[in-house]
Chain A
Amino acid sequence: MSIMQLHDVHQVFRRGGKEVHAVNGVSLSVGKGETVAVIGESGSGKSTLGRVALGLITPTSGDVVFDGIRLGSLSKKDMRALRSRIQVVFQEPYESLNPRIKVGDIVAEPLVIHRPEMSRAQRRDAVVAMLERVGLTAEHAGRLPRNLSGGQQQRIGIARAIITEPELVVLDEPTSSLDVSVRARVLDLLRDLQREREISYVFISHDLATVGLISDRVAVMYLGKVVEQGPTHEVLTHPRHPYTKALLSATLSTVVGQKRQHVPLRGEIPNPSKAPTKCVLSGRCPVEIAECSSWPVDLLPVAERHDVACLLADVGRQPVELGGPR
């Protein structure tokens, strides 16, 4: 059963007479207790999509449905009530914590807002229990964020997000600013919490290796569109879209001599200034044919629950094959 569905979401920002199509017709559904990863580079629209899912911005068009409720149809008051059920963890743990407020109060704040019936003592107990659950201690409650390591700060961000027992948490690059060893432990924590509480995650990331560890399904975004989506293992081991292949080939193995064939994309990601009239990768794609620039290319199924927006996807894995030394 799905907890959140996005239907044909478009998000257009207007700035100084210019339009930016940040999200361009994205549909996505997140099941209960499931982790859906949204991956892409900067400018792909993945963070905007996250903000739409959080109800922080109302999309230009399209629907966001959470547990059967259309987000756009809610009054301010109902929306506020709903926020305790959809929470967020940001990329920069320190930036997202108020530097002047003690850790205990930061974690307690969502309870003050969403559970006003709780007494001070109940709240304190809940905060201590939560700190202990994320691997910290009651002693940390009296500290300021700057007196914690990056990994500990992110644990605070996670504690704050899940203390209201949300059903969905949007994780926006939650481990990108952490060192590798710390990253592994934070991911372990997120997985344990999910297993215990059946939380659904939307995991926004540019790091395929991390996504491979934590997500059930993955949607690859480029220039505001999903270009490939499917079960994580399937997409990462049998990528069909040239962009997915390029992303995969950019991750370097730590095994010496195992340099993977590089799938080069020409140039860099352009500005999503207008709605596409051709394949979004046209102009950068290594296997482009004439038809690619003739019309927009939509997602089509290529296998069980595996969709790809590429005219050449049916040719299978032929055009750009990964693997083998270069």
Chain B
Amino acid sequence: MLRVTGLTSQFRGRAGVVRAIDDVTFEVPEGESVGIVGETGSGKSVTIRSVLGLLPSYGEVVSGSAEFEGTDLVRLNRARLREIRGARIGFVAQNPFGSLNPVLSIEKQFRNVVRAHRRISRTDLRDLAVERLESVQVRGPERVLRGYAHELSGGMAQRVVIALAMLHDPSLVIADEPTTALDVTVQRQILDLIDAQVKQGRRSLLLVTHDLGVVAQYCHRVVVMKSGKVVETGLVADVFSDPSHDYTRQLLAAVPPAPWADDVPSLSGQEVHR
């Protein structure tokens, strides 16, 4: 489905050129969920932004490829990439209020997303938007469509973003820390929702997270990143029960045990110094 090979990206800054990710290679097989996990600065977000052509202006992909449905995304021009991004790949970012346009009504945003790819009448659009909002359990979809992003809670806004991302029935969903900005009790709701949307549509999922628990419960495969490099990949069941890399072991050991577990083992882990 998605095959990333030798992907290397760099940033230009006052201090010169910094390599943000180096020789990143992994695969998202069809119908599977893959989690990219790592700490701050590991390059997990840069990886998906490189794949999606969403690097900031001072960043660039230097080498490598990201093959999706037979096309190398890295070599596409902006217009073609945008087309694929909206239609074949759905993207859910960390902050829903950054994804939604604050000055357009939610309905207008549905219209813009649909019309970027096909013509649709006003009434058909309304019906489609209502149906899609219902499918992500937004209560009172008509009222939400008339309103604006700031009137929504964080969880509701993220549901709207997910509905927009699924609008063109993408075969791949890429989510970048989709619940980090949300409250704890809402996080599970949103993860379950993404999970259900992916499974129902037989889509593949690439999920970036710092939460190893999320990977353990929602992903088939895991890509562990550190300092811009992939240190370990494999099936979650294998990697988490028997990590082959020291860093993976440290990450797992640093997660506090579930609080309802009776024995609390001592902590360990290496602090990353800049």
Contact = CB atoms under 8 A, between A and B. Distances in A.
Interface of A: 41-42, 147-152, 179-185, 187-188, 206-213, 236-237, 246-260, 262, 264-265, 267-269, 322-323
Given A247-B185, A249-B188, 7 more contacts: A149-B272, A180-B39, A181-B39, A182-B272, A184-B254, A209-B259, A268-B185
Interface string B229-261: 000000011001100000000111011111110
A210 B184 CA distance: 14
A256 to B, nearest CB: 5
B187 interface: yes
A98 to B, nearest CB: 19
Given A251-B213, A252-B217, A253-B213, A181 B272 contact: yes
B87 to A, nearest CB: 31
B267 interface: yes
B192 interface: yes
Contacts of A211: 259
26 contacts: A41-B184, A149-B271, A149-B273, A179-B40, A180-B39, A180-B254, A180-B255, A182-B269, A184-B254, A184-B268, A184-B269, A185-B271, A188-B267, A209-B256, A211-B259, A212-B259, A236-B259, A237-B262, A246-B185, A248-B260, A249-B188, A255-B216, A255-B240, A260-B258, A268-B156, A322-B260
Nearest to B215: A254
**Interface hub of B212, B215, B254, B258 (most chain A Cβ within 10 A):** B258
B124 interface: no
Contacts of B184: 41, 206-207, 247, 250-251
Contacts of B153: 268
B202 interface: no
Contacts, number: 132
Interface of B: 39-40, 139, 153-156, 183-189, 192, 210-217, 236-237, 240-241, 250-252, 254-260, 262, 264, 267-274
Given A251-B258, A252-B211, A259 B192 contact: no
Contacts of B237: 256-257
A256 B272 contact: no
Contact of A254 (B39, B212, B270): B212
Nearest to B152: A268
B259 A208 contact: yes
B188 A262 contact: yes
Contacts of A247: 184-185
A254 B240 contact: yes
Nearest to B269: A181
A248 B269 contact: no
Nearest to B156: A268
Contacts of A151: 271-273
A268 to B, nearest CB: 5
B264 A213 contact: yes
Contacts of A150: 40
A211 B264 CA distance: 12
B270 A181 contact: yes
B252 to A, nearest CB: 6
A182 B270 CA distance: 7
Contacts of A269: 183, 185
B40 A250 contact: no
